[in-house]
């Protein structure tokens, strides 16, 4: 298992001059969610992207983006990020031996992600402004200083991310009926759609899934049909008001016969607890929007029975420990005696 530049070499735009960068990303588990699936009367599987080397799907696109940047002669990379892009950029830049500059919205990044960018050795700058402003500044740094920008405006990111759709089809032997996926900048939903279509064109699958794009209610420009100026949600990875890939995502949903929908923070956190406590799967809040969306459709009687659904869990729950700790009780503290322990255990 050597990563997607090896596994999907023939499907990616690699040349002899492209360095074969790898952290053994991809090949993430497609976990059957048997308990939730039974309740919803569907065949439900989670594509657990938290199992990637930096804990999110961003590794799939970043490995290709950094490899192509180096092939093109870049001496450093830059990105704006709500956290996971910076973790991935910092890791692959470290691996490749080039500097990485990261612009984060000040005070709005989950702690695990900040720790990652810093320990991988990126130069991290906190911008007093939201993600959309940080992205504008990263673009300017790229233009004025000649740094390679590795945000999802970088076309190689989306090409690499197609590999997740290929893996799902390779494992199932066909495409699922639905794909449910959290949507922030809308790159990933666009990449999956392109990936499913690529496989159908190659004759490896006969169908493509309906694309179900789920946004957080406080940051739902694709549901509302207009940009959101002050996006707000506990799901920091999808706190984005002006999705760069909005047009591609709209086309994916329309062409596939899918839909966009919004879920509240309460619904996202409830789905997070449900996934952890009923399935043993811990995903970060943004990831859980996909499952929250399916639960919502089920409650509304709009989830067809018996279909096969792949829900993308985009990032690892450990990325954002504060979001998890805020919704569970503190551990019980006792004296170091058997009497005290017995008393607690028999409650
Ligand atoms: C980046 C990210 C998203 C959003 O993906 P887009 O391509 O921006 O729509 C969702 N969840 C997690 C965990 C992410 O890191």
| One domain for residues 62 and 41 | no
| One domain for residues 247 and 193 | yes
207 in the Ramachandran plot: left (φ > 0), alpha (ψ -120 to 50) or beta?
beta
Here the CATH number for the domain that contains residue 261 is 3.40.50.1100
* Domain of residue 142, residue span: 58-149
Helix axes 187-201, 246-256, angle to 10 degrees: 50
Other CB atoms closer than 10 Å to residue 143's CB: what's the count?
A: 10
Q: Whose CA is nearest to atom 8 of ligand 1?
A: 185
Answer whether residue 68 is part of any domain.
Answer: yes
Q: Which of 57, 102, 216, 318 to mutate to test the pocket of ligand 1 (most atoms within 8 A of CB)?
A: 57
| One domain for residues 189 and 71 | no
| One domain for residues 171 and 190 | yes
| One domain for residues 15 and 39 | yes
- Segments in the chain below pLDDT 50: none
Q: Residue 183: CB within 6 Å of ligand 1?
A: yes
Answer whether residue 184 is part of any domain.
Answer: yes
Please report the atom of ligand 1 found closest to the CA of residue 314: 13
Count: domains in the chain: 2
Q: Whose CA is nearest to atom 1 of ligand 1?
A: 237
| One domain for residues 70 and 140 | yes
What pLDDT score does 1 carry? 65
Helix axes 84-96, 111-119, angle to 10 degrees: 20
Cα(268)–Cα(160) distance, rounded to whole angstroms? 27
Q: Residue 315: CB within 6 Å of ligand 1?
A: yes
Residue ending a domain, choose from 116, 149, 182: 149
In whole angstroms, how large is the CA radius of gyration of the chain? 20
| One domain for residues 188 and 284 | yes
What pLDDT score does 36 carry? 98
What pLDDT score does 49 carry? 98
| One domain for residues 180 and 62 | no
What pLDDT score does 105 carry? 86
Answer whether residue 333 is part of any domain.
Answer: no
């Amino acid at each position: 298992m050597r990563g997607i530049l090896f596994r999907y070499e023939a499907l990616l735009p690699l040349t002899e001059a492209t360095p074969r960068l790898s952290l053994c990303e991809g090949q993430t588990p497609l976990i059957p969610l048997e308990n939730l699936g039974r309740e919803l009367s569907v065949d439900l599987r989670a594509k657990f992207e938290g199992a990637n080397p930096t804990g999110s799907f961003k590794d799939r696109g970043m490995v290709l983006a950094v490899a192509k940047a180096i092939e093109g002669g870049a001496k450093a990379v830059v990105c704006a990020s709500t956290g996971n892009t910076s973790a991935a950029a910092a890791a692959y830049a470290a691996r490749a031996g080039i500097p990485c500059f990261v612009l984060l919205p000040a005070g709005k990044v989950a702690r695990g992600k900040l720790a990652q960018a810093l320990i991988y050795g990126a130069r991290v700058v906190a911008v007093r402004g939201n993600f959309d402003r940080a992205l504008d500044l990263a673009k300017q740094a790229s233009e004025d200083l000649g740094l390679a920008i590795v945000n999802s405006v970088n076309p190689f990111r989306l090409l690499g991310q197609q590999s997740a759709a290929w893996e799902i089809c390779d494992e199932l032997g066909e495409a699922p009926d639905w794909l449910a996926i959290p949507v922030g900048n809308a790159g990933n939903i666009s990449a999956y759609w392109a990936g499913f279509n690529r496989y159908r064109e190659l004759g490896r699958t006969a169908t493509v899934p309906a694309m179900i794009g789920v946004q957080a209610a406080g940051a739902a420009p694709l549901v509302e049909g207009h940009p959101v100026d002050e996006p707000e949600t506990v799901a920091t990875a999808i706190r984005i008001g002006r999705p760069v890939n909005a047009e591609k995502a709209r086309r994916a949903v329309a062409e596939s016969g899918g839909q966009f929908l919004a879920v509240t923070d309460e619904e996202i956190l409830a789905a997070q607890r449900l996934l952890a406590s009923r399935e043993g799967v811990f995903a970060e809040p943004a990831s859980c929007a996909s499952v929250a969306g399916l639960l919502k459709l089920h409650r509304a009687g709009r989830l067809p029975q018996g279909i096969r659904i792949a829900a993308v869990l985009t990032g690892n729950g450990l990325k954002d420990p504060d979001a998890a700790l805020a919704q569970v009780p503190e551990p019980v503290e006792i004296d170091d005696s058997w009497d005290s322990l017995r008393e607690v255990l028999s409650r």
